[in-house]
């Protein structure tokens, strides 16, 4: 890989040489020393470079490019004998391009940095020994050893060992994750401690990192609607400027004014206005685990007026948890839970798994096995243990009870909160109730507030759950609008209805179950996409981390990018060009001054866009949502 510093030095030599020759040409009496005007040399060198670049661009694009205006200006200054002025104009154009290249290279660093994350070699187990081979030589199914301090070379599953993995390069999460046998690991992540043996499942471009690199590269090369409009405008701009120059010549007969118009009118700032901001924004997002599929997606996300949030797995963890245990009579919560564990131990129902996890969390004994386990469809489970019959069930179990006021009150209160309530019975007596719910993500409330602050007018929860559950979740997160009992096709109909009302709709889901809704929305945002090919390939934006806070970050990034694009176009491109052309036609702007203004505007466009590289969305009360550089 080429050293960027050496490349920049080599690029600097040409404009540096031109500058040195121009300084010598400006010395008094230099023409008498060398026998000719020394300014001719930098004029020929710089002008020749510009003419050749313009010719190549015109042949490749088969269009008249704006660089032709500069070529005409240099020819004009040469024709009237203003060699020094022409040389300075040529230097300003070449030097300006050099400075733009350096700054643009910084905005395009995202792909290069991602590529550098992947190691070149891997320790592969062959014939019972670990040998170092090129990553390209690793085959699917082979076992790879990852030592402490090394980057994981492939996507796969840990076959042996334990490690602490830094996954910031994939998910954007700064905190390392402890992983052991059976856990997934991704290429490009760093093993901070512990040695692990990884069963290879994906290599090279098929890894999650490989797909991220592909998406980021294609996104940076794609054009947004604003950029396409600018390109179309630039196509017709050259003939219009040539016509203006003809009118200036007819009216004033002043060739220097015409040259000044040609130099200032070159629409470089306009052409750079959108792509530089898009590239910088996509690069910023990629470093934080946000994949943005190009300029159109970025611009559309910057205009979102309504956002639909899937409930399960997006606002909630998607994993039922015990949220309350209510003992009756003289029983304790642990006694109620212990009885429930015996009945649920052999059940595979998600609610049973929630009960078992709660028992593990409380460090209750799980060693005893029940007898005569039985699952009663639509009601619950029951078993025998040391002669006692234990039952765990839903509201239908009330039919067996004579005194059920307390139990009924518990069921009513919990169901009103949108929770699933279970009763625990021992020999027909209700000893307590257990409430289970799909709990909110830790960051859900603040994330919703951040989304509101980002400028989104409507936030709607879409769920297939019942109305009580939807209402409960909406109250907890502070969202007023929700739609419950929705089938997948009904989610699509609701999104269509929003679009018919003129809303620009974003849909946030898990990328698999919500794939149709993500595709229909103006902007589909898939959460937790790391290792999920469907999410990376189908969504307009993919959040590699399972972190809801990245939704307001992404919307804020998009809105800021759109703001930067508008600043670039209207201030640095349009206003500067109009003012410059006006001054040039009235004789107040020389060709040299026009070159300074022209390159200054283009350079400021690139610098303004480069601000997106360091964008950090600031949340409520100025708190910073994302702090990792």
**In this predicted model, what pLDDT tens digit does every residue of 9-53 receive, in sequence order?**
556 788 888 889 888 888 887 777 877 888 899 889 988 888 898
With contact defined as beta carbons under 8 Å apart, do 151 and 118 qualify?
yes
Cα–Cα distances in angstroms (integers) from residue 590 to residues 46, 101, 385, 567, in the given order = 19, 26, 98, 26
Residues 601/573, Cβ–Cβ less than 8 Å: yes
Asked if pLDDT for residue 491 goes beyond 80, the answer is yes
Highest mean pLDDT among 508-517, 547-556, 587-596: 547-556
The predicted structure's pLDDT at residue 622? 42
What DSSP character marks residue 420? E
Taking the CB of residue 618, how many other CB atoms lie within 10 A of it?
14
Bigger pLDDT: 174 vs 89: 89
Give the burial string for 55-68 (b: 16+ CB within 10 Å, else e): eeeeeeeeebbbbb
How far lies 573's CA from each of 67, 235, 270, 271, 604, in Å?
A: 16, 15, 5, 9, 10
Distances (CA, A) of 578 to 31, 201, 545: 38, 58, 46
Those residues whose C-beta lies under 8 Å from the C-beta of residue 597, and which sit 6 or more positions away, are 264, 576, 580, 589
Judge whether residue 224 has pLDDT over 60: no
Q: What is the pLDDT of residue 83?
A: 84
155 catalytic? Reply is no
Cα–Cα distance, 6 to 559 (Å, whole number): 36
Token digits for 537? Answer: 């390939």
Q: What percent of the chain has pLDDT over 90?
A: 25
Mean pLDDT, range 444-449, rounded to an integer = 92
Vertex 532 angle, CA 531 and 538, to 5°: 140
Going edge to edge, which strands form the sheet with 371-376? 316-327, 429-440, 420-426, 388-393, 380-385, 371-376
573 neighbors 270 (Cβ within 8 angstroms)? yes
Strand partners, 624: 618
CA 204 – CA 222 distance, rounded (Å): 23
Angle of helix 333-344 relative to helix 350-361, nearest 10 degrees? Answer: 130
155, 310, 510, 540: the catalytic one is 310
Q: Which of 18-32, 416-430, 527-541, 570-584 has the lowest mean pLDDT?
A: 527-541
609 pLDDT above the threshold of 70: yes
Residue 233 pLDDT grade (very low, low, confident, very high; cuts 50, 70, 90): low
pLDDT in tens, 78-116: 887 878 877 887 887 787 677 656 655 655 555 566 667
User: Mean pLDDT over residues 189-198, rounded?
Assistant: 89
User: How many other β-carbons are positioned within 10 Å of the β-carbon of residue 187?
Assistant: 28
Between 60 and 531, whose confidence is greater? 60
pLDDT at 100: 59
pLDDT exceeds 70 at position 5: no
| pLDDT confidence bin for 620, thresholds 50/70/90 | very low
Q: What would the two tokens of residue 264 be?
A: 């200032």
What integer is the mean pLDDT of 431-456? 90
Provide the CA 531 distance to its chain's centre, in angstroms.
15
What are residue 125's DSSP bridge partners?
130
Looking at every residue in the chain, the average pLDDT score rounds to: 82
Average pLDDT over residues 208-228: 63
Q: What is the pLDDT of residues 261-300, one digit of tens each?
A: 888 877 777 777 887 888 888 888 888 888 888 788 888 9
Question: What single string gives the DSSP state of each residue in 14-27?
Answer: HHHHHHHHHHHHTS
Structural domains present in the chain: 119-206 (2.70.150.10), 317-440 (3.40.1110.10)
Q: Quote the tokens at residue 617.
A: 């969305």
Q: Which residue has the higher pLDDT, 208 or 222?
A: 208
Residue 350 CA to residue 357 CA, distance in Å, equals 11
- CB contact burial 288-298 (16+ within 10 A = b; e otherwise): bbbbbbbbbbb
What was the pLDDT predicted at 109?
57
pLDDT of residue 523: 92
The pLDDT of residue 1 is: 44
Q: Where are the alpha helices (DSSP H) in 346-390?
A: 350-361
Average pLDDT over residues 411-435: 89
Backbone angles phi, psi at 373, to 5 degrees: -65, 140
Arithmetic mean of pLDDT, 438-464: 89
Assess whether pLDDT exceeds 80 at residue 388: yes
User: Is pLDDT at 132 greater than 80 in this prediction?
Assistant: yes
Helix (H/G/I), strand (E/B), else coil: 117: helix
Q: Residue 431, Cα to own-chain centre: how many angstroms? A: 51
Tell me the CA end-to-end span of the chain in Å, nearest whole number: 25
Is the pTM higher than 0.85? no
Q: Are β-strands 306-310 and 505-509 bridged in parallel, bridged antiparallel, or unpaired?
A: parallel
Query: Dihedral of CA 210/213/216/222: which sign?
Result: negative
Tell me, what's the pLDDT at 624? 46
pLDDT of residue 110: 53
What sign has the CA pseudo-torsion 80, 83, 84, 88? positive
Q: Please name the helix (run of DSSP H) or strand (run of DSSP E) that holds residue 536, with its range, or none.
A: helix 533-538
* Mean pLDDT value across residues 318-327: 89
In this predicted structure, what is the pLDDT of residue 328?
A: 92
What are the tokens at 236?
A: 């017709």
| Cα–Cα distance for residue pair 391/422, rounded to 1 Å | 10
**In Å, how far are 267, 284, 460, 529, 601 from 108, measured between CA atoms?**
22, 10, 36, 23, 20
If DSSP codes are grouped into helix, strand and coil, which group holds residue 261?
Answer: helix
């Amino acid at each position: 890989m080429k050293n960027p510093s050496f490349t920049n030095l080599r690029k600097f030599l040409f404009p540096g040489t031109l500058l040195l020759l121009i300084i010598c040409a400006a010395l008094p009496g230099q023409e008498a020393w060398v026998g000719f005007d020394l300014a001719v040399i930098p004029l020929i060198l710089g002008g020749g470079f510009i003419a050749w670049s313009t010719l190549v661009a015109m042949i490749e694009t088969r269009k008249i490019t704006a660089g032709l205006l500069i070529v005409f200006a240099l020819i004009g200054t040469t024709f009237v004998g203003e060699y020094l002025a022409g040389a300075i104009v040529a230097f300003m154009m070449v030097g300006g391009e050099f400075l733009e290249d350096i700054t643009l290279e910084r905005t395009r660093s995202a792909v290069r940095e991602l590529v550098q994350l992947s190691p070149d070699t891997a320790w592969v187990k062959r014939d019972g020994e670990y040998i170092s081979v090129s990553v390209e030589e690793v085959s699917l199914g082979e076992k790879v050893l990852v030592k402490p301090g090394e980057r994981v070379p492939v996507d796969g599953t840990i076959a042996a060992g334990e490690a602490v993995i830094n996954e910031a390069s994939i998910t954007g999460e700064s905190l390392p994750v402890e992983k052991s046998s059976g856990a997934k690991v991704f290429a490009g992540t760093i093993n901070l401690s512990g040695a692990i043996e990884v069963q290879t499942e994906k290599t090279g471009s098929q890894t999650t990192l490989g797909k991220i690199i592909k998406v980021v590269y294609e996104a940076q090369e794609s054009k947004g609607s604003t950029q396409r409009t600018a390109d179309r405008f630039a196509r017709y701009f050259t003939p219009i400027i040539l016509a203006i120059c003809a009118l200036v010549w007819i009216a004033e007969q002043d060739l220097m004014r015409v040259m000044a118009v040609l130099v200032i009118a070159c629409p470089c700032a306009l052409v750079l206005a959108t792509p530089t901001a898009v590239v910088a924004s996509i690069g910023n997002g990629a470093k934080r685990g946000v994949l943005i599929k190009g300029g159109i997606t970025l611009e559309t996300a910057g205009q979102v007026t309504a956002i639909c949030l899937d409930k399960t797995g997006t606002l909630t963890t998607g994993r039922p948890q015990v949220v309350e245990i209510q003992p009756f009579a003289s029983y304790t919560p642990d006694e109620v839970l212990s009885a429930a564990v015996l009945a649920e131990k052999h059940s595979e129902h998600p609610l049973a798994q929630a009960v078992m996890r709660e028992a593990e969390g409380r460090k209750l004994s799980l060693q005893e096995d029940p007898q005569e386990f039985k699952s009663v469809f639509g009601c619950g489970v029951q078993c025998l243990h040391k002669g006692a019959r234990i039952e765990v069930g839903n509201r239908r179990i009330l039919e067996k009870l004579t005194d059920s006021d307390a139990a009924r009150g518990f069921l009513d209160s919990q169901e009103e909160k949108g929770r699933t309530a279970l009763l625990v019975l021992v020999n027909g007596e209700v000893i307590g109730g257990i409430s289970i719910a799909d709990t909110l993500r830790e960051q859900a409330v603040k994330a919703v507030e951040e989304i509101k602050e980002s400028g989104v007018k409507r936030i709607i929860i879409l769920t297939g759950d019942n109305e009580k559950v939807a209402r409960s979740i909406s109250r907890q997160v502070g969202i007023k609008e929700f739609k419950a009992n929705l089938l997948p096709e009904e989610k699509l109909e609701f999104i269509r209805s929003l679009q018919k009302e003129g809303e620009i709709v974003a849909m946030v889901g898990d990328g698999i179950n919500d794939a149709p809704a993500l595709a229909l929305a103006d902007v589909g945002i898939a959460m937790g996409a790391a290792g999920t090919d469907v999410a990376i390939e189908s969504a307009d934006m993919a959040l590699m981390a399972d972190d809801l806070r990245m939704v307001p970050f992404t919307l804020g990034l998009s809105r800021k990018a759109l703001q930067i694009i508008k600043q670039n176009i209207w201030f640095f491109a349009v206003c500067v060009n109009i003012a410059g052309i006006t001054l040039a036609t009235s004789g107040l702007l020389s060709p040299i001054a026009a070159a300074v203004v022209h390159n200054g505007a283009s350079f400021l466009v690139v610098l303004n866009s480069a601000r997106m590289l360091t964008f950090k969305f600031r949340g409520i009360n100025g708190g910073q949502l994302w702090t990792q550089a």
